[in-house]
Structure formats: structure tokens, C-alpha cells
Amino acid sequence: MLSKEMEKSLNEQIAMEGYASYLYLSMASWCEKQTLTGCAAFMFRQSEEERQHMLRIFHYINDVGEHAITPAISKPPHKWSSIQGLFEEVYTHEKNVSASIDRLVAQSYDEKDHQTLAFLQWYVEEQREEEVLMRTILDRIRLIGDGPQSLYYIDKEVSAINQKQVAAEGAEGKQ
């Protein structure tokens, strides 16, 4: 059984994960308009992953006998000045999500809610992986630079990273 405060906090996290899904979907659209198909595919996959994160919390709340609330989700931005700016925003957003998960962990610890604490451990590890991934992409974008062909190489690099992630997810599913 969740406390009312924890139920409220988890429902707020649902909204944050839902916003992330919409944000990444908007970013995917922008990437497609820029003909950055590798980046678009990456962002479409990220959008779906965030939706799954949202649903995981949604089901958890209902599984423990409380009420998950479908959130109203704010319209995300739809334009970025550069691919680097877009990924900087992604990285900042992922750090904010990590901070939110950390607050949930602290709250569950304070409330001695061991079930929720155990549930949230998956998110702690997932957020560490997300931050590493986004920081790696930003580092590679900076290495490639902003020369005339840089967008082509950035798109190829992000596409390769995406394919590696898809392959890793497929391997996890077979275990």
C-alpha cells in the first residue's frame, strides 16, 4: 500500500515520463525535417522507451491497489537551433529525470516503503545508462565538430549508436 504522498509523487513521475516521450517524439519530427534520419530513428526509439517507463510506473501504482492517473502533458518545443542544441536539451532533461527518481528513492526510504524502493532501483540504473548514453552522443558531436559535412557524420554516428542499442535490447529480450 502506498501512502497518499507516494501515490501523488509517482503520478507526477508518470507525467514527467509522458512529457519525455512527447519531447522525444517532437525531436524525432524535427530531425526528420532536417533529413537526419539516423537521429530521427534514435529519437523515435527514445520516445517509445519513455512511454514504456511511464506505463511501468502506471501499472505499479495500480498493482499495489492505488490509482494511476493519466496525466495532462504539456506541448513540447518543436524547433531547435542545431542538433547539438537538441542533444544538450536531451541530456539536461535526463539529468532532471534522474534527480526526480532520486527524490522518489529518498521519499520511499523516508517512508520505509521497501516495495517502492525496490521497484525504483530499476529506474536508478536506467537513468545512469541514459545519462551516459546522452553524454557520449554529445561528446561525439563535439569531436565531429561543425564543419560542412558534420551533420552527415553526426547522423551516421547516432544511427550506429541506435543500432547498437536496438541489438542490445534484442539480446536482453532473448535471455
pLDDT at residue 45, rounded to an integer: 97
Residue ranges of alpha helices (H) inside the chain are 4-33, 37-63, 83-110, 114-144, 150-174
Tens-digit pLDDT profile for residues 79-124: 999 999 999 999 999 999 999 999 999 999 999 999 999 999 999 9
Q: Whats the size of the chain, residue-wise?
A: 175
Q: Which domains does the chain have, with CATH numbers?
A: 4-165 (1.20.1260.10)
Q: What pTM did the predictor assign?
A: 0.92
The pLDDT, as a whole number, for residue 175 is 62
The answer to whether residues 106 and 139 touch, using CB atoms and an 8 Å cutoff, is no
Give percent of the chain above pLDDT 90: 91
- For the chain, give the mean pLDDT: 95
